[in-house]
Amino acid sequence: MAKSESGPARRSRGRPRDWDDKTAQNTIKSLDRAMEVFEHLSETSGVTLSELAENLGQSPATIYRILVTLEGRGLVEFDRAAQHWLIGARAFVIGARYLRRTTLVDRARPVLRRLMEETGETANLGIARGSHVLFVGQVETHATIRAFFPPGTLSPMHASGIGKALLAQMSDDRLSRLFATAPLDQFTQRTLTEPAHLRADLEATRDRGYAIDDEEKNEGMRCIAAPVFDLSGGAVAGISVSGPASRVSPGQVQPLAGAVMAAAEELSLAMGAERPAHAGTAPERREP
């Protein structure tokens, strides 16, 4: 029987009444702890039970129960020879399903392929995840020496070409909140670890339309990136090319930047964004 128009508004299917309540009463602590273990393990190339327990500040017995449960689902695996726990094949299957449903990744694939063929360098696609860039797509160059950021890799935004391209589109308020909560760790002598220096670099990035990771994360590697916009004018991703500094030299920055911005514009148009008036022009920054 249909409810009368004067009755209470119908809630969306699949959402409980306290959907927006994220307090402790609506979280499952054991599941949250398991996800912490799973995420930490995904960032390593293999770790022992005792090391994992020490890193997370939990007892080995608790961590072991979590690992065995995740192992039963294929999300983690145990290397008996090395006595290491590793991320499992099932995690890749689930991640691949996420990538398949993401229109951005599908539409970016041919754009990345053409960018790699045009520049001869590895082409990347990344999105913001907190204070990090999550790489969700890549087409590798055929060159022997090349950059490699496989899908699923996380990199701090302040030391990443794509990260700085996205930071440059954020509002001043959001940047201030981010700087207050996320440390600007130093990776090389070129890493920008002072907020004032990083802000100046972001201003230059915004003016010219592309960002440069000038050996700021890895010595000997440079990256050139540009933001990708959607229908609402928000920066939803970044495209970059990355390679050894010997090939991505200062003299190659301008021609590579032109190719990267053209690829970013092509993908932006595919995502419904309006065409920029000229190189270096981007939609007005909006608070996400």
Q: What is the CATH number of the domain that holds 213?
A: 3.30.450.40
Checking if the pLDDT of 3 tops 50, the result is: no
**10/217 Cα distance (integer angstroms):** 50
Q: Could you tell me if residue 8 is inside a domain?
A: no
pLDDT, mean of residues 193-222: 94
Q: Are residues 179 and 259 in the same domain?
A: yes
Q: Could you tell me if residue 1 is inside a domain?
A: no
> Which of 37, 64, 92 is a domain's end point?
92
Instruction: Report the CATH number that the domain containing residue 31 is assigned in CATH.
Output: 1.10.10.10
Cα pseudo-dihedral 214, 209, 150, 97, rounded to 10: 160
Q: Are residues 40 and 179 in the same domain?
A: no
State pLDDT tens for residues 124-134: 999 998 899 99
Q: Are residues 31 and 136 in the same domain?
A: no
Q: Are residues 51 and 186 in the same domain?
A: no
Q: Could you tell me if residue 18 is inside a domain?
A: no
Nearest alpha-carbon partner for 226 in 150, 129, 115: 115
Q: Could you tell me if residue 75 is inside a domain?
A: yes
Q: Are residues 86 and 156 in the same domain?
A: no
Q: Which ranges constitute the DSSP H helices of the chain?
A: 29-42, 49-56, 60-72, 89-101, 103-119, 161-167, 172-181, 195-208, 253-270
Q: Are residues 119 and 249 in the same domain?
A: yes
Q: Are residues 77 and 118 in the same domain?
A: no
Q: Could you tell me if residue 275 is inside a domain?
A: no
> Which of 92, 116, 145 is a domain's end point?
92
**Can you give the pTM of this predicted structure?**
0.67
Tally of domains in the chain = 2
Q: Comparing 153 with 204, which gets the higher pLDDT? A: 204
Q: Are residues 111 and 205 in the same domain?
A: yes
Q: Could you tell me if residue 153 is inside a domain?
A: yes
Q: Could you tell me if residue 281 is inside a domain?
A: no
Cα 202 off chain centre by: 18
Q: Are residues 237 and 171 in the same domain?
A: yes
Q: Are residues 108 and 87 in the same domain?
A: no
Checking if the pLDDT of 63 tops 60, the result is: yes
Q: Are residues 177 and 263 in the same domain?
A: yes
Domain span at residue 240 reads 102-270
State pLDDT tens for residues 86-129: 999 888 888 777 666 668 888 899 999 999 999 999 999 999 98
Q: Could you tell me if residue 128 is inside a domain?
A: yes
Checking if the pLDDT of 284 tops 50, the result is: no
Q: Comparing 278 with 78, which gets the higher pLDDT? A: 78
**109/124 Cα distance (integer angstroms):** 10
The pLDDT score that the predictor gives to residue 135 is 92
Q: Are residues 128 and 247 in the same domain?
A: yes
**185/164 Cα distance (integer angstroms):** 14
DSSP secondary structure code for residue 34 in this structure: H
